Amino acid sequence: MKILTTLLWMALVTPAFAQQYQVIAVGFYNLENLFDTIDTPDVNDFEFTPEGPRQWTSARYRDKLLNLAKVIGDMGTDLTPDGPAILGVAEIENRGVLEDLVRQSAVADRNYRIVHHDSPDARGVDVALLYQPEYFSLIASQSVPLHILTADSTPLITRDILHVHGELMGHEWHILVNHWPSRRGGEKATRPWRNAAAARNREIVDSILLIRPDAGIIVMGDFNDDPVNASIRQVLRSFPKVEKTRPGTFYNPWHSFYKKGFGTLAYRDAWSLFDQILISHSLLEKRKDRFHYFKSAIVNKPYLIQPMGHYRGYPYRTFDFDEYISGYSDHFPTVSYFVKPVEP
Q: Give the CA radius of gyration of the chain.
A: 20
The top-level CATH class assigned to 25-341 is alpha beta
Q: Which residues contact 65 (CB under 8 A, 6 or more apart)?
A: 34, 97, 100, 101, 104
User: Span 229-239, mean pLDDT?
Assistant: 98
pLDDT at position 195 over 70: yes
Query: Which CA distances in Å does 32 have to 64, 67, 127, 146?
Result: 10, 12, 11, 21
Confidence of residue 1 (pLDDT cuts 50, 70, 90): low
The predicted-structure confidence for 244-283, as pLDDT tens digits, reads as follows 999 999 999 999 999 999 999 999 889 999 999 999 999 9
In 3D, which of 174, 166, 175, 162 has the Cα closest to residue 118?
Answer: 162
Q: By three-state DSSP, how is residue 239 classified? A: strand
The predicted-structure confidence for 310-341, as pLDDT tens digits, reads as follows 999 999 999 999 999 999 999 999 999 999 99
The predicted-structure confidence for 274-305, as pLDDT tens digits, reads as follows 999 999 999 999 988 999 999 999 999 999 99
- Rounded CA gap, 275 and 83, in Å? 18
pTM for this model (two decimals): 0.95
Rounded to the nearest integer, the mean pLDDT of the chain is 93
